[in-house]
């Protein structure tokens, strides 16, 4: 076979495979955010809706998480409400449960007995002012218990009514590192809190398998609005130094695509 023709065909195949992977979301990446400033968080895709009304929470120049990431974090006060609100990275593409997803970072929780739920994780962006919207969220829920403790639980829900929730683990208020992973094979999500200094496991929770729902998310961060209407009950939570699954291709993938195109043009032009 002519060498030039063979090179051309190989290049076309490489270009096609790369393009299909990018468009289908198979090529995933891991985003990170350390909240060094409000401007850097905004540049990284972090924005909010309803978070100043049902809070306020969002970017903060404080260091409640106390971890190595230093000052600057996301969080604040979360008021009990049935109106969907959030502060998160809405520029992650579409993450599919069929591909699995995960996240990790620093966490601080102060949950007085306030009858409130606060969510950390991947979620589908709700419409502004949506009431009772709880579809498409996967990560973990923080729920009040008493003045010294909160309940920590893994949570995943797709496109249908009813969510899969792991054991509610009683956990002292304070500072932790968190991580969670949704396994596309078992269709279960496991969330864990570890001690920030020793790394020892403090709390872990795993959901039952989500077998009859399709999960997608286009954001990661903090969400509220998982309760009925409240009367001023609040919870405090912050995250920092976070890494999380994204469907936006890595720069190396874009470089591969560009090189493929350049190679094809050069070969074709000879």
Packing angle, helices 3-24 and 251-269, rounded to 10: 150
Structure-token pair, residue 132? 């009772």
Count of structural domains, the chain: 2
Task: Tell me, yes or no, whether 93 and 202 share the same domain.
Answer: yes
pTM of the model: 0.84
Q: What is the pLDDT of residue 14?
A: 43
CB atoms within 10 A of CB 66: 15
Please tell me the distance from the alpha carbon of residue 33 to that of residue 241, in angstroms, as a whole number: 6
Do 10 and 62 lie in one domain? The reply is no
Residues of the chain with pLDDT under 50: 3-4, 6-8, 10-27, 252-262, 264-266
DSSP notation for 181-208: EEETTTTEEEEEEE-TTT--EEEEEEPP
Query: Within this chain, do residues 176 and 268 fall inside the same structural domain, yes or no?
Result: no
Same domain, residue pair 101 and 165: yes
Confidence at residue 121, expressed as pLDDT on a 0 to 100 scale: 98
Instruction: State the pLDDT at residue 112.
Output: 78
pLDDT tens digits along 127-166: 999 999 999 999 999 999 988 999 999 999 999 988 999 9
Which residues touch 99 (CB under 8 Å, ≥6 apart)? 25, 26, 28, 184
Statement to judge: residues 4 and 133 lie in one domain: no
Same domain, 155 and 269: no
Predicted pLDDT of residue 230: 79
156 with 82, same domain: the answer is yes
Q: pLDDT digit string (tens) for 199-236?
A: 999 999 999 999 999 999 999 999 999 998 878 889 99
Shared domain for 48 and 85, answered yes or no, is: yes
* pLDDT at residue 24 in the model: 44
Provide long-range contacts, Cβ within 8 A and 24+ apart, for 18-25: 18/253, 18/256, 18/257, 18/260, 19/257, 21/249, 21/253, 22/249, 22/253, 22/257, 25/93, 25/94, 25/95, 25/96, 25/99, 25/247
Per-residue pLDDT, 114? 76
- Parent domain of 207: 28-248
Q: Check whether residue 23 and residue 146 sit in a common domain.
A: no
pLDDT of 249:
62
């Amino acid at each position: 076979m002519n060498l030039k023709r063979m090179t051309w065909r190989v290049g076309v195949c490489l270009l096609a495979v790369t393009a299909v992977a990018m468009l289908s979301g198979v090529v995933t990446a891991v985003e990170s955010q350390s909240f060094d400033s409000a401007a850097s968080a905004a540049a990284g895709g972090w924005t909010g809706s309803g978070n100043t009304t049902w809070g306020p929470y969002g970017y903060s120049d404080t260091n409640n998480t106390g971890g190595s990431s230093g000052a600057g974090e996301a969080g604040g006060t979360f008021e009990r409400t049935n109106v969907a609100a959030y502060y998160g990275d809405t520029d992650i593409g579409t993450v599919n449960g069929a591909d699995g997803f995960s996240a990790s970072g620093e966490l601080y929780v102060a949950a007085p007995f306030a009858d409130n739920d606060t969510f950390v994780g991947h979620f589908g962006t709700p419409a502004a002012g949506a009431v009772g919207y709880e579809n498409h969220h996967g990560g973990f829920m923080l729920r009040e218990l008493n003045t010294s403790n909160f309940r920590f639980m893994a949570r995943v829900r797709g496109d249908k009514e009813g969510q899969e929730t792991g054991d509610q683990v009683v956990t002292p208020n304070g500072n932790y590192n968190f991580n969670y992973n949704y396994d596309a094979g078992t269709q279960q999500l496991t969330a864990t809190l570890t001690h920030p200094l020793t790394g020892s496991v403090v709390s872990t929770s795993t959901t039952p398998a989500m077998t009859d729902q399709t999960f997608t998310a286009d954001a990661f961060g903090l969400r509220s609005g998982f309760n009925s209407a409240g009367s001023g009950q609040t919870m405090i939570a912050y995250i920092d130094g976070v890494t999380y699954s994204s469907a936006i291709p890595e720069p190396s993938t874009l470089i591969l695509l560009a090189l493929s195109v350049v190679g094809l043009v050069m070969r074709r032009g000879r």
